Amino acid sequence: MSRFWNNKVKELVPYTPGEQPKDKKYIKLNTNEFPYSPSPMVEDIIKNYDFEDLRLYPDPDVSELKNEIASFYGLNTENIFIGNGSDEILAFAFMTYFNSGDKIYYPNITYSFYPVYSDLFDLKPETIPLNKNFEIETDDYKNLDSGIILANPNAPTSIALGRDQIEEIIAANKDNIVIIDEAYIDFGGESVLELTKKYDNLLVIQTFSKSRALAGMRLGFAAGNKELIDGLDKVKFSFNSYTINRLSIKAGTAAVKDSEYFLKTVEALIKTREKTKKVLKEYGFFVPDSKANFLFVSHSRISGEELYLKLKDSGILVRYFKKPGIDNFIRITIGTEKEMEIFEEKIKEILKQNK
């Protein structure tokens, strides 16, 4: 510890991203990356880019990508904010809509970056337990006295609320900001992007790291009414004017343009997920109904930690959270059909050894 760290930094416990091991080649089912390449249009546009222009700052407003997203989702450009990954937008949202000392409500089991942000920005987290089926009970989120953040589908449980359920929560918290983190929405959930036109207290955040296959380019976006977006802009322009580089703007724009590829690859992923889900159920796993690009599963005969370690031994990385309530689970990112077949084989072997 340096004597120059401030009091906050001394206590800070950062978020731990999933392992990115460099020692050997794993089948990586641990960080919810998309198993298919980005749209071929991404490669085209970058290879044909005028590299001389990299000497120039990017457009700080990221207008080209904002316009493309707005047009794809039937929103207006002024309702879109672009971030360097959706995590950056989450950080800015915590900085924009909460005063130090404010309460913030989220489930006791959810994306583990929310407690880190709460800590970093001095908020008071009020965690609300999931029900015994690992679901969010919408009634628990009505008429609260401060802002709410919900991942939908929730992570790492994979379970989604329907649009109507989310709307109930938004409508029952008209004086509170409600942030819906839709990182995994494209895999079968119902987005509430459209509701940003109806409610001034709703901010929806999505990412290009999952369904758009661009985790490596760092892009996310938020949608909300103009004044909510203006607030994010004020914070961003007080933090770093140019968060999105020239090639990311081009890559993101191409990925949104190629909607055919997007729909086709997402459909393939959902098909693989349903197949894997079926197999795991046959093997006796508890498998909640996932609307995400991952499954969150447990087995009565083998612990989550043991599963994680045995899979790692056999060259497959999944994510294990050593946390109360979910420490018997593993989170399995859906890979290609071939990867999931190998995974299913390994699981079968491991279960045999644990008879």
Counting contacts by CB under 8 A, is residue 192 touching a second copy? no
CA separation for the pair 280, 341 (Å, rounded): 11
Cβ proximity to a second copy, 137 vs 233, nearer residue:
233
Q: Of 233 and 306, which CB lies nearer to a second copy in the complex structure? A: 233
Q: Can you read off the two tokens belonging to residue 36?
A: 């298919």
Which one of 205, 217, 317, 340 is in contact with a second copy (CB under 8 A)?
Answer: 217
By CB under 8 A, the count of residues binding a second copy is: 87
- Say whether residue 355 binds a second copy (CB under 8 A): no
Should residue 160 be labelled a site residue for a second copy when binding is judged by CB under 8 A? Answer: no
CB closer to a second copy, 114 vs 296: 114
* Residue 43 binds to a second copy (criterion: CB under 8 A): yes
Residue where the block lists tokens 């690859």:
265
Q: Considering only CA atoms, which of 277, 130, 319, 321 is closest in space to residue 286?
A: 277
Nearer to a second copy, 116 or 130 (CB): 116
Report CA-CA distances (Å) from 113 to 41, 72, 110, 181: 32, 29, 9, 12
Taking each helix axis from N to C end, the angle separating 40-47 and 246-257, rounded to the nearest 10 degrees, works out to 140
Measured from the CB of residue 99, what is the shortest distance to a second copy in angstroms?
5
Q: How far is the CB of 355 from a second copy (least distance, A)?
A: 36
Token pair of 49, please?
């880019």
Does position 99 interact with a second copy (CB under 8 A)? The reply is yes
Q: How many CA atoms lie less than 13 Å away from 59 in the CB half-sphere?
A: 12
Report the half-sphere exposure of 125 (CA within 13 A, side-chain side).
Answer: 21
Report if residue 31 touches a second copy, rule: CB under 8 A: yes
Q: Which is nearer to a second copy, 66 or 246 (CB)?
A: 246
Report the alpha-carbon distance of residue 104 to residue 75 in Å, rounded. Answer: 28
Span 273-332, contacts to a second copy by CB under 8 A: none
